[in-house]
A and B are shown apart, each in its own frame.
Chain A
Amino acid sequence: MRALAAAIGLLLAWEGFVRWTGVPAFLMPSPLRVWNALVTRWDILVGHAGTTLTEILLGLLFGALLGIATALLLSSWRGGRRWLLPLLIASQAVPVFAIAPLLTLWLGFGLASKITMSTIIIFFPVATAFYDGLRRTEPGWLDLATTMGASRGAMLWRVRVPAALPGLASGLRVAAAVAPIGAVVGEWVGASSGLGYVMLQANGRSQTDVMFAALAILATMAMALWFATDLLLRRMLPWQPDALLDSDGEPT
């Protein structure tokens, strides 16, 4: 409720600002104008939104899988850690903006280059958060498992991985928040559909209201994605400390 009130307040302030200062619409369209653009161009926008959403979701899926696999490999293969860790850092040291044109060149204007970009952005927070979780297992649990005669595999899958799931969950939350970046950057560099493409075209034609409309859809999708991910993760890990804290603090 409070969030809704804040959003309405912000929109009112924006509308008031535009009317009061008389800023030209190609610089700053009023919320009503953006709403109009959203309604009149809805049939076009919704198709582009579908493209972007597909890229984001597939990027999230591949990025999460790649991140999980990397973390497991790093934690269980001592020798590989020295080789993989620098590579992991290097993959993030190079800005995705810088390699976006290359990926478009190699993988084409279609979905593949955007999904690859999303994957590169998403896999890092997932891998680091999960890897940290895997390294920080309560030592007492490992001692206990050792005295119980657990094999290495059982120790990993029945103790260390479950114990690291809250860490993985926070990595996935970050991933859900940054997932749209890769897709939109990819669309800016070269695409024939998607919200990023719409924004670029609208910008070129000074259709700022359409640009804002696309932005509004993108922001709504990104927020919905984050809240859905958060809700899903809470449902799946009812035992994790922050979920417990919530249920203690206020009835949900």
Chain B
Amino acid sequence: MAPGLGIVLPVIRLGGRPVLGACDLHFAAGQVTALLGPSGVGKSTLLRLLAGLMPLPAGARVMPEDGQPLAGRVAWMGQQDLLLPWLDLRGNIGLGARLRGEAVDKARADSLIAAVGLTGRDTARPSELSGGMRQRAALARTLMEDRPFVLMDEPFSAVDAPTRHRLQSLAAGLLAGRTVLLVTHDPLEALRMAHRILVLRPGAEGAVAEDLPLPASLPLRAVTDPDVLAAQAALLDRLAEAA
């Protein structure tokens, strides 16, 4: 199982405005932590800091539990599928290895293509795939990287509700055992997929993370579960307050 991840941050400012408050967060090993909050509260900023897309400010520390550095052990999945239009499905899934000048693990690519239900579409370009298929391809590309830490920034926000529902079930299974940080706007998505939900509430000195009590059941939770639906209502109330 993937190790847990601790992060200590000073106040993060963007353009002089405090965005994220000073915090000391810990993401449990092999679990999905969902991060919710109003737009502009710094969810994506936190993700970008961890992904190495923004330099860590002075005083910040990122500590994987196994003592190894985080760099090079993170897989990233964004809001758009970010498939390269000039590569076919197989080329896109093997993109990471190609970019590092390594050989693509063909067997692994095959099994992931099968796992996301795209067998037989190997040579299809992204423009020939539907929105849901493209997002599944992006998921396969993320998992192809085989990293212990997975950062997902609203990964399923661009697809319709039924597709999103299916993608969540698929992703939950495939991500099992990895330490996942999932930024989302969708309370139900968080409640279905996450072991822990953090709500970022804006404050004078930057946003503060608050834990949300969750139903006793484990993810992947059923949407028909009354506890899940009650928690969704509570979470919506909490988000409306925070906004």
Contacts and interface: CB of A to CB of B under 8 A. Distances in A.
Interface of A: 138, 140-141, 143-151, 154-155, 158-159, 162-163, 165, 237-240, 244
B125 A147 contact: no
A147 B53 contact: yes
B169 interface: no
A166 to B, nearest CB: 9
B73 to A, nearest CB: 10
Contacts of B127: 239, 244
B52 interface: yes
Nearest to A240: B85
B74 interface: yes
Interface of B: 48, 51-53, 72, 74-76, 78-80, 82, 84-86, 95-96, 98-101, 125, 127, 145, 151
A154 B101 contact: yes
A148 B95 CA distance: 8
8 contacts: A143-B48, A147-B76, A148-B95, A148-B145, A150-B100, A151-B100, A154-B99, A154-B100
A2 to B, nearest CB: 29
Contacts of A140: 78-80, 82
Contacts of A138: 82
B126 to A, nearest CB: 8
Given A149-B72, A154-B101, A239-B125, A162 B84 contact: yes
Nearest to A165: B86
Contact of B99 (A150, A239, A244): A150
A145 B99 contact: yes
A134 to B, nearest CB: 15
B41 to A, nearest CB: 20
Contacts of B51: 143, 146-147
Q: From DSSP, what is the main secondary structure of chain A's interface residues? A: helix
Given A147-B52, A147-B74, A141 B99 contact: no
A159 B84 CA distance: 8
A249 to B, nearest CB: 14
A149 B84 contact: no
B99 A148 contact: yes
Given A154-B98, A239-B127, 4 more contacts: A140-B80, A141-B84, A144-B76, A159-B99
Contacts of A237: 86
B98 A146 contact: no
A162 B86 CA distance: 7
Contacts of A149: 72, 96, 99-100
